[in-house]
Chain A
Amino acid sequence: AQSVTQLGSHVSVSEGALVLLRCNYSSSVPPYLFWYVQYPNQGLQLLLKYTTGATLVKGINGFEAEFKKSETSFHLTKPSAHMSDAAEYFCAVRPDSGGYQKVTFGTGTKLQVIP
């Protein structure tokens, strides 16, 4: 079984401040991990992903995430928030093996950027 927990359904940061969105996962097999972003009235867009190799993953729009196996975490960060980063962010996990290839999503974190 696999699950994803996102801490904080709403996060507010000032423009230019650090963005930190938290994600913890549980998985019985080594997972693939993803962050998706959803802008208002749009579908979800892949922001970045961890598969294998380097644990620090860089994505689009200046975001990055670090896979920490010992902490079962995959937190999303951005050094300096921009107004255009206001959106909802979803962490997701998928097993890297097995016939059932479901992606399990967290409940999402809405990011508000204050001017």
Chain B
Amino acid sequence: EAQVTQNPRYLITVTGKKLTVTCSQNMNHEYMSWYRQDPGLGLRQIYYSMNVEVTDKGDVPEGYKVSRKEKRNFPLILESPSPNQTSLYFCASSPTTAGGLSYGYTFGSGTRLTVV
């Protein structure tokens, strides 16, 4: 089954304790992206990646890091989490080859992060 898999689904952590949220897709998509969803603000892009070793900032990158060493994986790293990073996070992927832009995204199920 074609899917984007995020782990964990739920995470409670303390301020300053480094964490990683994993994202993996099995569709051979070039493009991957992380979004955070907050009430009243919709989805805001954190980082995106056009392909392996190619990443760039989205609209709200502060406090986050990403890496793209393999095509299928795109982990989100919070090196020193703070309470304002409490949110619902989504990983998404799509193709970028001819016609791929019209596909939209395939989303993961989300990771609800609480930083206390």
A: residues with CB less than 8 A from B are: 9, 32, 34, 36, 42-46, 49, 51, 90, 92, 94-97, 99, 101-103, 105-108
Chain B residues whose CB sits within 8 angstroms of the CB of A103 once the complex forms: 33, 92, 94, 104-105
Are the C-beta atoms of A90 and B42 separated by less than 8 Å? Answer: yes
Task: Tell me the residues in window 6-58 of chain B with beta carbons closer than 8 Å to chain A beta carbons.
Answer: 31, 33, 35, 40-43, 45, 48, 50, 58
Does B74 belong to the interface (CB within 8 Å)? no
For this complex, 23 residue pairs linking A to B, each with C-beta atoms less than 8 Å apart, are: A9-B40, A36-B104, A43-B4, A43-B90, A43-B110, A44-B90, A45-B107, A46-B105, A46-B106, A51-B102, A90-B42, A92-B104, A96-B102, A101-B94, A101-B96, A103-B92, A103-B104, A103-B105, A105-B35, A105-B42, A105-B43, A106-B42, A108-B42
Q: Determine chain B's interface SS by DSSP, over half rule.
A: strand
Write the chain B residue with the least CB distance to A98: B101
Given A42-B110, A43-B107, A44-B92, 16 further pairs, Cβ under 8 A: A32-B104, A44-B43, A44-B105, A44-B107, A46-B106, A49-B102, A90-B42, A90-B43, A94-B104, A95-B101, A101-B31, A102-B45, A103-B94, A105-B42, A107-B41, A108-B42
